[in-house]
Amino acid sequence: MDGLEEAKALISELLATDKVAGFLALRTVNGHPIPYLYTKAEELDGLYLGEVRYPLTKILTGLARKYPDNTFGILARACDERCLIELYKNKQLDPEKVTFVGMACSGELAETCECLHPYPSRIDIGEKVERQGDPDGIKEIEALSEEERYRHWMGQFSKCIKCYGCRNICPVCFCTTCTLEDHSLVHLGGMPPQMPIFHLVRAMHMADRCIDCGLCEEACPADIPLRTLYRKVRETVKNLFGYMPGESAEDLPPLETLGDGTFEIEGSTR
């Protein structure tokens, strides 16, 4: 695989010089690529750089909670880097304690993920591939009548088996108590869960945080097009506030900047 030897060398170096307490990436074990915390260079024989993705930054958040003084390394694609930016902003990770090795995605993976920016800010491994073309999901839905749109989404939500996989796999979902489990908002139990509130509550909560990695949709056992929903919410936030989660560590989310009451939405009346 391209870049495998470079990656091994980079990670070995980090481990050998004790710059990191461990390095998170994937490793092929029993024929399956799985998340792995490398602590010794000799384990790198099984390093996996293929197209399977796991929420490594979420695992990193768990490690950092228990070991706040340790520095960890992580193999980061562009989506992982966007996660890291959000996690730094939300004080879930300390940028001083994270060392990332940047990996550009293959053209094939970028296509599968409909990713517009399939390479991180610093590329240590792999070749930069540009990919054009907006995802079609939103346009397709917006071409429908309101009634058809309603039917579409309610049809999709009616398959939901309330696994919470969309939340559980989400690398930027880190709250210790979750609004989805607040029974004053969403009824407890139920398969499907109460519709459409369950999905809309989650969409709202992702508005200034979703970095469009697509792991939620991959984890959905009902094949609900969750990314389309969250992309629409992202689009709305971008149009209203010019804010895109995961783009820069300096941009603050709207919920933090609207506080002094001076913000006005164009065309709105008070």
Partner 1 sequence: MEYRTVQTTCTYCGCGCGLLLGVMDEEVVGTLPLKTHPINEGTLCIKGWSVHEFVQNEKRLQRPLVREKGDFQEVDWEDALGLVASRLRKIRDEFGPDSIAGLSSAKCTNEENYLFQKWMRAVVGTNNVDHCARLCHSSTVAGLAAAFGSGAMTNSTPEIEDADCILITGSNTSESHPLVANRVFRAREKGAKLVVVDPRRMQMARVADIHVRNRPGSDVAWINGIMHIIIKEGWEDKEFVAQRTEGFEALKKEVEAYPPERVAEISGISPENLRRIAETYAKAEKASILFAMGITQHTTGVDNVKSLANLAMLTGNLGRPSTGVNPLRGQNNVQGACDVGALPNVYPGYQSVTDEVVAKKFEEAWGVKLDRKVGLTIPEMFSAIEEERIKAMVILGENPLLSDPDVNHVEKAIRKLDFLVVQDMFMTETARLAQVVLPGVSFAEKDGTFTATDRRVQRVRKAIDPLGEARPDWEILCDLARKMGGEGFAFSAPKEIFDELAKVTPIYQGICFERIETEGLQWPCRSPEDPGTPYLHKDQITKGRGTFHAISYREPAELPDEQFPFVLTTGRMGFHFHTGTMTRISPSLHKEAESAYMEIHPEDAQKLGIHECEEVRVSSRRGTIDIKASLTEGIDRGVVFIPFHFVESAANRLTNNAFDPIAKIPEYKVCAVRIEKLATNSKEENDKKRAKD
**Token code pair at residue 186:** 């969403």
Q: Using CB under 8 A, which of the segments 5-13, 53-61, 80-88, 258-266 binds partner 1? A: 53-61
The verdict on 34 binding partner 1 (CB under 8 A) reads: yes
The verdict on 158 binding partner 1 (CB under 8 A) reads: yes
Size of the site for partner 1 (CB under 8 A): 41
The one among 3, 6, 35, 41 contacting partner 1 by CB under 8 A: 35
CB of residue 105 to partner 1, shortest distance in Å: 16
Backbone angles phi, psi at 177, to 5 degrees: -120, 140
> Per residue in 116-150, is it b (16+ CB within 10 Å) or e — as a string?
ebbbbeeebbbeebebeeebebbeebeeeeeeeee
CB of residue 36 to partner 1, shortest distance in Å: 7
The verdict on 140 binding partner 1 (CB under 8 A) reads: no
The verdict on 202 binding partner 1 (CB under 8 A) reads: no
CB of residue 192 to partner 1, shortest distance in Å: 6
The verdict on 30 binding partner 1 (CB under 8 A) reads: yes
The one among 140, 181, 256, 264 contacting partner 1 by CB under 8 A: 181
The verdict on 53 binding partner 1 (CB under 8 A) reads: yes
Q: Using CB under 8 A, which of the segments 31-39, 106-114, 122-130, 245-253 binds partner 1? A: 31-39
Q: Using CB under 8 A, which of the segments 107-115, 117-125, 219-227, 261-269 binds partner 1? A: 219-227
**Distance between CA atoms of 136 and 227, rounded to whole angstroms?**
11
Of the pair 128, 159, the CB lying nearest partner 1 is at 159
CB of residue 152 to partner 1, shortest distance in Å: 12
> Is 26 within 8 Å of 33 (Cβ atoms)?
yes
Q: Which of residues 8-27 bind partner 1 (CB under 8 A)?
A: 21-22
Q: Which of residues 57-116 bind partner 1 (CB under 8 A)?
A: 59, 62-63, 66-67, 70
The one among 213, 220, 226, 229 contacting partner 1 by CB under 8 A: 220
Q: Which of 15, 93, 28, 29 is nearest to 58 (CA)?
A: 93
